[in-house]
Amino acid sequence: MKATVLAFVVAAMAVISSASVQAGVVLSNMGANGLTDTSGPTNTDVLANNLLASGFTTGATAQKLDWVSIVGFSPTAVNKTVSIYSDNAGSPGTLVATSASTAFPATTKGVFQFNFSGVNLTAATSYWVLPETDISWYLESNNDAPTAQNSSGFSYLGVKKSTNSGSSWNTSVFNYTLGVSTSDVPPVPEPAITSLVCLGGIAFMRRRMKK
């Protein structure tokens, strides 16, 4: 009986310890690394009243958002952010999180990476990426749409445009040059398994001490 309990405890511990975090690009039209500039020469000045949000739907598992990359440039050196919104009937809804500030050097086109911390994305749920305005982002009507990477199961929703600060949204023909990278969220062990592991460990230690 003791041998059976010990074997089960060891197996349960192996299941818990095997919950490793795997990072990777899940949606991109910037290559499998999400950082390769595939845009053409066309850029769009995103003005203060001209919001452009790019949407996606997550796959079958919850994910931790690591970063979002977008191609852009600014005529002056500035710091900018990217925000993530929940979905509201196919358009941006409630603010979920805002990235750390990323510096844009003056007149330099490039791939800019916006990092996030502690942002979990629910499985099979839609979200919207909304970059800060007053900067030039590379949105093109003939740019390939972002697609799922690394068998993530993510899907692309397109771009929605608002000219009234988000009061209403319309579909846009443009696509951002965009990459999204996430990590798996480790599963939380069942309380029963956790308790069994603890009890089994105590029993094993007592047996060792008796010897």
Among the listed ranges 77-91, 92-106, 189-203, which one has the minimum average pLDDT value? 189-203
pLDDT at position 210 is 61
Domain 22-186 has CATH 3.30.70.1400: no
pLDDT beyond 60 at 57: yes
DSSP assignment of 133-179 equals SSEEE-EETTSPPPEE-TT---EEEEEEEESSTTSS-EEES-EE-EE
* Whether pLDDT at 13 is above 50: no
Least confident interval from 33-47, 113-127, 183-197: 183-197
pLDDT band at 15; cut points 50, 70, 90: very low
Q: Structure tokens of 90?
A: 């196919």
pLDDT tens profile 128-156? 999 999 999 999 998 999 999 999 999 99
Q: Is the pLDDT of residue 35 over 60?
A: yes
**Higher-pLDDT residue of 125, 209:** 125
Mean residue pLDDT of the chain comes to: 85
- Judged against a pLDDT cut of 70, whether residue 64 lies above it is answered with yes
Per DSSP, the three-state class of 198 is: helix
